[in-house]
Structure 1
Amino acid sequence: MRTLIALTLLIGSGSAFAATECTTADKSTWQDQEKFQAQLKEQGYKINKFKVTKGNCYEIYGFDKDGKKVEIYHDPVTGKAVKTEYHD
Structure 2
Amino acid sequence: MRKLLLLSLLAASPLAFAGPQCTTTDKAQWQDQAKFQEELKAKGYNIKKFKVTSGNCYEIYGWDKDKRKVEIYFDPVTGKVVKEEIE
Give the TM bin, normalised by the shorter chain: 0.7 to 0.9
Report SS of the residue matched to 1:72.
strand
Larger Rg: 1
* Aligned: 1:23 with 2:34: no
Q: CA deviation at 1:85?
A: 1.0
Q: Deviations over 1:15-65 (max 9, x none)?
A: 643331100000000000000000000000000110000000000010011
Matched with 1:62 is: 62
Superposed CA RMSD: 1.9
Identity of aligned pairs, percent? 62
Q: When the two structures are aligned, how many residues end up with a matched partner?
A: 85
Instruction: Give the whole-Å Cα distance in 2 for the aligned partners of 1:18 and 1:46.
Output: 24
Q: TM-score, structure 2 length as denominator?
A: 0.82
Instruction: Give the whole-Å Cα distance in 2 for the aligned partners of 1:42 and 1:86.
Output: 19
Report SS of the residue matched to 1:59.
strand
- Structure 2 unaligned residues grouped into runs of 5+: none
Instruction: Give the whole-Å Cα distance in 2 for the aligned partners of 1:9 and 1:48.
Output: 34
Q: CA deviation at 1:7?
A: 8.8
Report SS of the residue matched to 2:67.
coil
Q: TM-score, structure 1 length as denominator?
A: 0.81
Instruction: Give the whole-Å Cα distance in 1 for the aligned partners of 2:41 and 2:4.
Output: 47
